[in-house]
Amino acid sequence: MHKILENKTALITGANQGLGLEIAKKYIGAGANLSLCARNERLLDEAYKTLDQLKVNSDQKIVTFSCDVSSLTDVKKFVHGSISALGDCHILVNNAGIYGPKGHIEDNDWDEWKKTIEINLYGSILMLREITPYFKKQKYGKIIQLSGGGATNPLPFLSAYAVSKAGIVRFIETLAEEVREFGIDVNAIAPGALNTKMLDEILAAGPEKVGKTFYDRAVKQKKDGGAPVELGADLALFLASSSSNGITAKLISAVWDNWKEWPNHIADLNSNDVYTLRRIAGRDRGFSWGDK
């Protein structure tokens, strides 16, 4: 692989398994230095050993931190400890996330519901608050936020997850405008329906908790294989590289969007609201009675 991230340093949250680990593999193969964090230290150690074998340069560095992204103390330790250990930072991938409680809102454990918001929404924002001043100072940065199906569609019986994902996408759009003049690109990724441990959670919960429609979809996904995890990782690699310079404030589907062609259309991307969260008005659907 061409070393498109050589001399770049990336911080990746939730990097000990699933998509986070796959992104880390792509980055290490592209020549990057890595700082990884997760809550499960055993899996984090295993991820380190795997990635250490994939180095393409002898001087590449990998460091790991045990971190709960919803803890301000842990986040500060991870961000500033990473920069201290590796000397710099150019890329942040906010991947850590959970589904949270499943079922009717009135039956959800309220502490679990809040914890989902704290991890998926607050945790991502805490990371961004800590790294943004550093990116501003160096007038460069790549911020890659993982989104999910809950951002663009209702997700019955997974309300905390849906709210957190919609909220973080709007935050990403907002932050992108705040830092546009500093050469910082900020985007969200929808990786598609992945066959990871989160899918197993849905299957274990059953149709009584997550609803028959969503459960049946999960069963089919498990059988068919789901979206290849490599697609989301390839998109994360593209957004971390110079090829994506100027692409910002977008929610990008790894599966459905022709993002490899986007560098040829920067002016179009920056001049309208394509690939963003927006209200659909009646006029957008040809109804003459709904709007003035």
The pLDDT tens digits along the chain (292 residues) read 579 999 999 999 999 999 999 999 999 999 999 999 999 999 999 999 999 999 999 999 999 999 999 999 999 999 999 999 999 999 999 999 999 999 999 999 999 999 999 999 999 999 999 999 999 999 999 999 999 777 888 999 999 999 999 999 999 999 999 999 999 999 999 998 776 777 788 888 898 888 888 888 888 888 888 788 899 999 999 999 999 999 999 999 999 999 999 999 999 999 999 999 999 999 999 999 999 8
Cα dist from 106 to 103, 196, 204, whole Å: 8, 28, 21
Token code pair at residue 241: 């590289």
Looking up residue 99, the CATH number of its domain turns out to be 3.40.50.720
In this prediction, residue 1 carries a pLDDT of 52
Same domain (yes/no): 219, 258 = no
Asked, for residue 288, whether it belongs to a domain, the answer is: no
Same domain (yes/no): 163, 244 = yes
Asked, for residue 128, whether it belongs to a domain, the answer is: yes
Asked, for residue 206, whether it belongs to a domain, the answer is: yes
Q: Which residue's entry shows tokens 């910082």?
A: 184
136 in active site: no
Give dist(CA 106, CA 110) in Å, integer: 9
Same domain (yes/no): 214, 246 = no
| CA angle, residues 135, 139, 141, in degrees to nearest 5 | 45
| CA-based nearest residue to 157, from 103, 198, 109 | 103
Phi, psi torsion values for 70, nearest 5 degrees: -85, -5
Same domain (yes/no): 213, 249 = no
Rounded CA Rg of the chain: 19
Same domain (yes/no): 174, 201 = no
End of a domain among 184, 210, 226?
A: 226
Asked, for residue 287, whether it belongs to a domain, the answer is: no
Q: Helix crossing, 110-117 with 159-179: angle to 10°?
A: 20
Give the total number of structural domains in the chain.
2
Same domain (yes/no): 220, 127 = no
Catalytic residue among 99, 161, 215, 275: 161
Same domain (yes/no): 109, 204 = no
Asked, for residue 80, whether it belongs to a domain, the answer is: yes
Contact by Cβ (8 Å): 69, 13: yes
Same domain (yes/no): 137, 48 = yes
Give dist(CA 28, CA 9) in Å, integer: 10
| Residues forming a β-bridge with 110 | none
Same domain (yes/no): 199, 123 = no
Same domain (yes/no): 70, 199 = no
In this prediction, residue 107 carries a pLDDT of 96
In this prediction, residue 217 carries a pLDDT of 83
Catalytic residue among 35, 82, 124, 147: 147
288 in active site: no
Model confidence, pTM:
0.94
Domain containing 263: what range? 9-192+229-278
Alpha helical stretches, state H, 180-241? 197-205, 207-210, 212-224, 229-240
Four-point Cα dihedral 130, 167, 70, 160, nearest 10: -170
Same domain (yes/no): 86, 220 = no
Alpha helical stretches, state H, 57-109? 72-86
Same domain (yes/no): 146, 215 = no
220 in active site: no
Catalytic residue among 8, 25, 26, 165: 165
Helix (H) or strand (E) holding 188: strand 184-190
Q: Which residue's entry shows tokens 């309220």?
A: 110
Asked, for residue 14, whether it belongs to a domain, the answer is: yes
Asked, for residue 289, whether it belongs to a domain, the answer is: no
Asked, for residue 244, whether it belongs to a domain, the answer is: yes
Four-point Cα dihedral 220, 221, 223, 229, nearest 10: 170
| Residues whose CB is less than 8 angstroms from the CB of residue 46 and which lie 6 or more positions away in sequence, other chains included | 16
Contact by Cβ (8 Å): 8, 90: yes
